[in-house]
């Protein structure tokens, strides 16, 4: 994605154009699949409005109980949305400031902290393991 959107080190990503291109690439086919799934569910008298609404705005993985509730493969696109939202800002920051070493340290530190939090929650007697073990829990995807 870096090469596709920012081939030159000093070129900034046009954020609006980037978002439009990303949405046009993934959303039409995804929405058709979601609508077909919802139609099938309605024909069987199973109505999950909240799951449909979260899925329609690609936020189902942001709410762990709904991550795979309606259109199971769609959770990955929900996680991609977070990446797509962050990507142009991170890329513009990294390329404009040339803080590769500092960025690498921040990424590694964030990963270490997230692993510590994950394992602390996993073995905590106060948190249900269903939430922590949910592979699609967005916080751990960041």
Instruction: Give the C-alpha separation, 137 to 142, whole Å.
Output: 10
Mean pLDDT of the 2-18 span: 71
pTM of the model: 0.65
- Convert the pLDDT of each residue in 79-108 to its tens digit: 888 888 888 887 777 766 667 777 788 889
Mean of pLDDT over the chain: 78
Report the distance separating Cα 115 and Cα 79, nearest Å. Answer: 18
Q: Which H, E and C letters describe 105-133, residue by residue?
A: HHHHHHHHHHHHHHHHHHCCCCCCHHHHH
Domain positions in the chain are 2-141
Tokens 């513009």 sit at which residue? 92
């Amino acid at each position: 994605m870096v090469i596709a959107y920012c081939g030159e080190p000093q070129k900034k990503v046009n954020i609006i154009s980037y978002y439009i291109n990303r949405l046009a690439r993934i959303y039409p086919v995804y929405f058709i699949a979601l609508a077909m799934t919802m139609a099938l569910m309605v024909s069987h008298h199973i109505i999950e409005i909240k799951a449909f609404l979260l899925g329609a705005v690609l936020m189902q993985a942001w709410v762990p109980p709904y991550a795979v509730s309606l259109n199971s493969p769609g959770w990955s696109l929900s996680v991609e949305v977070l990446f797509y939202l962050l990507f142009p800002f991170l890329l513009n920051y990294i390329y404009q400031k040339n803080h590769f070493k500092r960025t690498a340290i921040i990424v590694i530190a964030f990963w270490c902290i997230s692993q510590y939090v994950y394992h602390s929650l996993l073995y905590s007697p106060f948190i249900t393991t269903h939430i922590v073990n949910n592979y699609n829990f967005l916080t751990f995807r960041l």
